[in-house]
Amino acid sequence: MKRRFEFFFAVRSPPKTVLDLRPPSTSADPLPACRQAGVRHFACPSARHGEKYDPVWLNGGMEKLKIFVTHVFLGKFVERLKDRYEVVVWPGRDIGREDLLKGVRGSTGIISLLTEKIDEEVMKSAGVQLKVISNYAVGYDNIDVSTATKRGICVTNTPGVLTESVAEEVLALTLSLFRRIVEGDRLIRSGKYKGWEPDLLLGTGIKDKVMGIVGLGRIGRWTARMCSALGMKIIYFNRHRDEEFEEEYSVTYHTFDQLLEKSDVVSLSVPLTKETQHMVGERELKLMKPTALLINTARGPIVDQEMLIRALREKWIAGAGLDVFEDETNVPQELRDLPNTILTPHTASATN
């Protein structure tokens, strides 16, 4: 995925510190959370491509502010940051806990992945000068936002950069399951295909099927637009109704249980919180149609994975398309063996 990220480094001015955080954001109030925390200065290093700015110094101009980056990223934004900051990039693929705690020491900013747990221990290890944690993701369930707020640390994410890509993955998984595309591919590769037959791998068309979207954020909305254009009927569940969106795209609001009962496809587009963890479990899976599909491109723990495996085995539902898992480093063999699933390695956002 081609990502254009704007990492905002927000810093309070301590005594004897020279800060020039140009250019200011062009929007009226780009980071209200930071403003509420009392942060006065904003910088968007990627806002004006090709421009050079003076370094940000501290201690009377003796050293640059440090930014610790937990992963080697594609693109040039890290190189641009090096013009103004002391940027330390972890060179390996996965940073261990001890290396993370050591690496962040003395940092004013941290750029992290969703796979790194940025909690109170990490913030304390960084020190009192830590002022911003910028997450290379839309979600931020890996960051202890409550502790960050108490410590006056601004937390930013990257909303909007993968909206279309993830919605496309929802549609791709839906079509692949309904039309049995992966099954057909496996049949050909196995050498067992002996020629066309009229009833070979009969699938299901999506026209007039009901797409139930759980969470009407950016991804949920784009999924609704795409699926509606292909003739699907759209229903949704969200914390708050959006009557304007309902009218514009002819979608209807349902309670969560109603959505599960009526949908031919249930697509999860909610963040992982205490409230959404295992929001799809035994009761919810049994409410779904036996012909229905479950699509999860959000976060693995939103679904009770053990119960989903049982539901797929015992045919409570017809199939599942999963891009995320409860433990992405250890996807259970029982899930991998199920023929009525399509599993992808957290690549819903991976477009260029």
Per-residue pLDDT tens digits of the chain, which is 352 residues long: 444 434 444 333 333 333 333 333 334 443 444 444 433 333 333 333 344 445 444 444 556 899 999 988 776 778 888 888 999 999 877 899 999 999 999 999 999 998 899 999 999 999 999 999 999 888 888 999 999 999 999 999 988 888 999 999 999 999 999 999 999 999 999 999 999 999 999 999 999 999 999 999 999 999 999 999 999 999 999 999 999 999 999 999 999 999 999 999 999 999 999 999 999 999 999 999 999 999 999 999 999 999 999 999 999 999 999 999 999 989 999 999 999 999 999 999 888 8
Which stretch of DSSP H or E encloses residue 212? strand 210-214
Q: Do domains 32-156 and 163-343 have the same CATH topology?
A: yes
Q: Cα(233)–Cα(22) distance, rounded to whole angstroms? A: 48
Determine whether 225 is an active site residue. Answer: no
Residue type, 69: V
Is there a contact between 264 and 173 (Cβ–Cβ < 8 Å)? Answer: no
Q: Cα(53)–Cα(158) distance, rounded to whole angstroms? A: 23
The closest alpha carbon to 84, from 120, 116, 46, belongs to 46
Q: Where are the domains of the chain?
A: 32-156, 163-343
Which stretch of DSSP H or E encloses residue 130? none
* Catalytic residue (choose from 63, 248, 328, 334): 328
* Catalytic residue (choose from 71, 84, 218, 299): 299
Determine whether 180 is an active site residue. Answer: no
Determine whether 71 is an active site residue. Answer: no
The closest alpha carbon to 134, from 218, 31, 1, belongs to 31
State pTM to two decimals.
Answer: 0.75
Is there a contact between 207 and 232 (Cβ–Cβ < 8 Å)? Answer: yes
CATH level 2 (architecture), domain 32-156:
3-Layer(aba) Sandwich (3.40)
| Token pair in block for residue 262 | 């009526």
Q: What is the CATH number of domain 163-343?
A: 3.40.50.720
